[in-house]
Chains A and B, each alone.
Chain A
């Protein structure tokens, strides 16, 4: 199964992720 988040945010929003990485619920996705 998959969860897709789609959201608007200020242009300077940055993901702090790498494609393919494992992630746990509760961990940050990104910062403004």
Chain B
């Protein structure tokens, strides 16, 4: 007993940690070998314990601290080196920025919110739906059985992601949540996930001509949403802070959801002055609704394709 008490916890931790890592790496090696043989291997998603441990990291606190830090105005002489390091690290293309002079940006938060030259992103006229932002296409396709794929093979529940269907009256008695959303005969439900990397332009625009009728804000975690984590944490987008805008376009139901992440904890919607994201206090699993349809505005907020819609902010 005495010997056990004398043992230092550190070597035990190192031993168990490296044992676990070795086991995990061996499993990944086996998956790679199987893939080389052309055998489709389902992605290794995190188990309950790993998700709980990951969610216990105070990402909201870190995010707000990161945001505070990036609101501190930099001395003029420090701006160029700091922003040049950020540009080099994340591959930012300053030629497209509306203001190329780095001294113009007082702090990294302002630099992160930089706008682009209008001619830098021509809006495609010949297609009815466009990309709302710069980024990487993580996944896209038809929604099946109320499950949406965040990346290939890793799904999340449509109803958990959007929340209960209360933003408009439903006349008929649908067989599933997905059928609730599809309002026209012969239509299907489609989805597209765009991941914005740290160096990307972080404003987003209206992807089509539509009327935004409702906003639902889900406070939540701010786990990283980079593709590697999206492959590892199932239901990742249902854990994270997000703002769901829903309404109608020419073919029926349309929604755009902005999902926050650790370094980009705040979401702004330009026409929604009441929206406050990344607040210190929130009740787990809660959400708050706002309808843009009122007695004197039966239409909601009309958005034209390509119109400025909102932005992600640091912290």
| Residues in chain A within 8 A of chain B (CB atoms) | 1-11, 13, 15, 17-32
Contacts of B312 in A (CB 8 A): 1
- Specify the chain B residue showing the minimal Cβ separation from A18: B137
**7 A-B pairs whose Cβ atoms sit less than 8 Å apart in the complex:** A5-B256, A8-B183, A9-B129, A11-B186, A15-B192, A28-B126, A30-B127
Q: Mark B228-269, 1 if CB is under 8 A from A, else 0.
A: 001000000100000000000101111111111100100100
The one of A19, A22, A31 that contacts B135, using a Cβ cutoff of 8 Å: A22
Residues in A with CB closer than 8 Å to B218 are none
Contact-size category for B: 35 or more
- From B137, B143, B158, B251, A21 is in contact (CB under 8 Å) with B137
User: A6 and B183 in contact (CB under 8 A), knowing A26-B124, A27-B131, A29-B127?
Assistant: no
CA distance A9 to B248 in the complex (A): 11
B74 within 8 A of A: no
Least CB distance from B184 to A in Å reads 7
Contact (Cβ within 8 A) A5 B127: no
Residue of A nearest to B152 (CB): A19
Considering the complex, give the chain A residue whose CB is closest to the CB of B140: A15
- In the complex with contacts A9-B190, A20-B137, A22-B135, A2-B158 CB distance below 8 A: no
B162–A6 contact, CB under 8 A? yes
Q: Is the CB of A1 within 8 A of B202?
A: yes
Q: Which residues of B contact A11 (CB under 8 A)?
A: 186-188
Closest residue of chain A to B241 (Cβ to Cβ) is: A1
Q: Which 4 A-B pairs have the closest CB atoms?
A: A28-B127, A8-B252, A1-B264, A2-B259
